[in-house]
Amino acid sequence: MTTIIDGKAVAASITGAIKDANAELQAQTGRKTGLAVIIVGDDPASHTYVGAKSRMAKECGFFSVQHTLPKETTQQQLAGLVHRLNGDDAIHGILVQLPLPQHLDADAVIQSIRPEKDVDGLHVANAGKLATGDLESGLISCTPAGATVFVRRVHGGDLSGLNALVIGRSNLFGKPMAQLLLNANATVTIAHSRTSGLAAVCRNADIVIAAVGRPEMVKANWLKPGATVIDVGINRVPAPEKGEDRTRLVGDVDFAECAPIASVITPVPGGVGPMTIAMLMANSVIAAHRASGLKVSGQLSKLISG
């Protein structure tokens, strides 16, 4: 029987452990985890995401600050704010909501964040630590970290002897996801738009992680029976059954087709999505502990590291 992973339930367990870790930090140091979120412009989706992140930070007991900047904000003004937050000892994590307005250089902004405060895990220093197998001193990109929690829950921390396929090679997800799987001893293949015979490649995989941005691309006949399938895609497709101009969310995996073939599968929505915010909070409390010369232990460490 196929197991459907409840991402909300897993994220809730992690959030509970984050609250405990933050309370322990406050008891030991007198300081809360500090998270600053920056949003530029008026994109509705970005404001929805930022609102959810800010609410979760407050729920976890963090010192949470949101900086909402107008669309006309200049590169210099944004850089100045990041610089001030870099030097603020009460702030342990800095998150810049992407995408930024087109006139701003997002990469320059991300790389200006001090690596130890880069709770999105996008700074080249954090990416480099992951690439070299240093999982102790860097911060890991949140969505791959969340997907890895699912994989560990199914297969444990050692993936020796398992073939893993990551469909998608983005810096945000595909590459760090592949590194995490490699660090867990899986044999890893990265597929992308130029991969020849993708279905055949997929059929050899014990673990399939789809993050390519193509609605319901992975079909049942692509899967090895009993595979673990983690769907990271978030796509809106027409839903005429709901009414004119209505849409619904689907992943990169055809869930209805693939669920009977897989042994474990994540739904969209309700799978990887909730984990992204949970891992952002986990990175923040980890950064706060490190800033005080401490290490996160107990239940949170067990949940996120297997």
The pLDDT, as a whole number, for residue 73 is 98
* Residues 46-69: tens digit of each pLDDT: 999 999 999 999 999 999 999 999
Catalytic residue ranges: 53, 97, 120
Buried b (16+ CB within 10 A) or exposed e, 171-205: ebbbbbbbbbbbbbebbbbbbeeebeebeebbbeb
- What Å distances lie between residue 117 and 61, 129, 166, 247, CA to CA? 18, 15, 28, 37
The pLDDT, as a whole number, for residue 306 is 57
How many other CB atoms are there within 10 angstroms of residue 87's CB atom? 9
C-alpha distance across the termini of the chain, in Å: 24
The pLDDT, as a whole number, for residue 240 is 83
Provide the sign of the torsion angle of the four alpha carbons 70, 50, 77, 109, taken in this order: negative
Cα 140 to chain center, whole Å? 8
Flag residues of the chain having pLDDT under 50.
none
Measured distance CA(101)–CA(98) in Å, rounded: 9
The pLDDT, as a whole number, for residue 22 is 97
* Residues 95-109: tens digit of each pLDDT: 999 999 999 999 999
How many other CB atoms are there within 10 angstroms of residue 10's CB atom? 21
Torsion of CA 209, 215, 219, 223, to 10 degrees: 0
The pLDDT, as a whole number, for residue 173 is 96
The pLDDT, as a whole number, for residue 85 is 98
The pLDDT, as a whole number, for residue 297 is 80
Domains located in the chain, CATH noted: 29-136+274-292 (3.40.50.10860), 142-272 (3.40.50.720)
Contact 74, 15 (CB under 8 A): no
* Residues 19-55: tens digit of each pLDDT: 999 999 999 999 999 999 999 999 998 999 999 999 9
SS3 272: coil
Measured distance CA(36)–CA(58) in Å, rounded: 12
